[in-house]
Structure 1
Amino acid sequence: MSFNLDAMVKAVTEAKAKAKRRRFEQTYELIIRFKDFDVKNQANKFNITVTLPHPLQGKEPKVCVMATGAMVLAAKEAKADAILTREDIEKLAGNKKEIRKLAASYDYFIATPDLMVLIGRVMGQILGPRNKMPEVVQPNADIKAVIDRLKRSIRIRVKDQPQVMCKVGTENMDPKQVAENIATVIDEVLKKVRPEQLGSVSVKLTMGPPITFSPLSTK
């Protein structure tokens, strides 16, 4: 699939120019609306993680590592946002309020295989429906590489509406980097839907109007 990167860069630049200035750093949001797309059909619903070529500077996802043994030290060295040991998880048993707070505080969870049964028993009812059950990593895995990948990742999903909305950048990023993130997301979406099902595609800053563009090259 060939993408019109120039059109994406132009749309990102225009989105920034038309957005109201704010004291906080605004986020670029991509909105993809589908046509001839039945959301009642379970086959059309998806929830996938997309690794972007460029991280959302200053707004990177938070990663919590659940580990035992040497992985605990490795996670500390890799600057994980939080680390839970077996004892920490056991202390959460029955404390739904604290587990919900944990689920809301972190975007991704990583765990070693020996903890998955415990995690499922203690936290599964809360993490599961939120699609935040941990990604399993082996004890000898390069945990820094895993964390770095997740720090560059976003989730895209179709639930009740025929559309996808996700963050693709921050306002101080280079427009070309944001455009390359957009192309990566659309490329993943097109593994789930046909090109002719792409309706309107637009990008906007948090406090700005959406700018519609044609993402696919006509050449």
Structure 2
Amino acid sequence: MSLDLQITLDSQEILPPPFSIQRATLIQPLTVALTSPRIQLLILPVNSSKIQVSAVRESVRTVKLQSEEKKRNFVETVELQIGLKNYDPQRDKRFSGSVRLPNIPRPKMSVCILGDALHCDQAKEIGMEYQSVDDLKKLNKNKKQIKKLAKKYDAFLASEALIKQIPRLLGPGLHKAGKFPTPVTHADNIGDKADEIRATIKFQLKKVLCLGVAVGHVEMTEDELLANIMMSVNFLVSLLKKHWQNVKTLFIKSSMNKPVRLY
């Protein structure tokens, strides 16, 4: 059993048993082991956020109203747009980090499993895309075909037994595309694993001081979007060298509408 929670607490407070955390300023996400079950916590100092929940809720409301005024024939994604300052991508360490959000921001994200016989059978049962070892061998290390496979899906899972064979079967194609598979065992539920990937977002600083990441969609409730945005922002700030001093602007926007400022 696993639960996903977001808990905010005073940085000087010690959590009561069965937690075991020393007095400290907690910035980075921690995994806290309980007697039972195991709960993943994102723990941040109480005054760490410079955006108010009520203000973010108003911005979420505005974004949802914008999308309702002119309905599209697809579900608009809600993106968090970040502008940074006091950062030199050439000299400062480029941060990279992933966080699993409480609500899946991209439910239609396509995930394919590169599977052994058991995982291919399980994929068939739940209607999940899959490629068997024989399918991969048929690509015959053809770079164009491998690139086509990488482009067809947003992410990949792979049976644990196949992970070491992937470079031999496909070369560096998936790795170059930033889509090297996440390993799964026979004890894992591949549907749940695919949803974990759909719920996980990644912040990565490249050469420019702006980032954009999908944090939801317009059919989510206000509360669902709010929870995703707050967790995304607080996690991003935890990655930054000077935390909020490195944040210049924060906006949210749906695919077809104007950005709404958060900060």
Normalised-by-shorter TM-score class: 0.7 to 0.9
Correspondence for 1:144: 191
Among 166, 178, 192, the alignment partner of 2:225 is 178
Q: Distance in 2 between matches of 1:124 and 1:31?
A: 34
1:44-193 matches, within 5 Å, as 44-46=94-96, 48-56=97-105, 59-80=107-128, 82-193=129-240
Q: Name the amino acid aligned to 2:207.
A: D
Match in the other structure for 1:199: 248
* Aligned equivalents of 1:136, 1:201: Cα separation in 2: 34
Equivalent position SS for 1:23: coil
2:220 corresponds to 1:210: no
More strand by share: 2
CA distance in 1, matches of 2:180, 2:196: 17
Q: Which residue of 2 aligns with 1:217?
A: none
Higher RCO (CA < 8 A, seq sep 6+) = 1
Distance 1:168 1:72, change over 3 A: same
**TM-score (normalised: structure 1):** 0.85
| 1:175, distance to aligned residue in structure 2 (A) | 2.0
Distance 1:45 1:140, change over 3 A: same
Structure of higher CA gyration radius: 2
Q: What is residue 36 of structure 1 aligned with on the other side? A: 86
1:13 — aligned with what? Answer: 61
Structure number with higher helix proportion: 1
5+ residue gaps, structure 2, are: 1-43
Which amino acid in the other structure matches residue 81 of structure 2?
I
CA distances 1:55-113 after superposition (whole Å, capped 9, x unpaired): 236x4311111111322222333442x11111111111232222222211212111123
Percent of aligned pairs with the same amino acid: 25
1:154-207 deviation line (CA, Å, top 9, x unaligned): 333221212220111222221221111111212321231122212211111112
Unaligned runs of 5+ in 1: 215-219
Deviations 1:19-64 (A, max 9, x none): 6724232221110111111112462242x4432211236x431111
Counterpart CA distance in 1 for 2:83 and 2:184 is 35
Change (3 A) 1:111 1:6: same
Segments of 4+ moved more than 4 angstroms? none
Distance 1:15 1:171, change over 3 A: same
In 2, are the aligned partners of 1:37 and 1:44 still within 8 Å (CA)?
no
- 154 and 105 in structure 1: CA distance in 2 versus 1, 3 angstrom threshold: farther
Q: Aligned-pair distance for 1:128?
A: 1.1
TM-score between both structures, scaled by the size of structure 2: 0.72
Tell me the SS of whatever aligns to 2:65: helix
Amino acid at match of 1:34: L
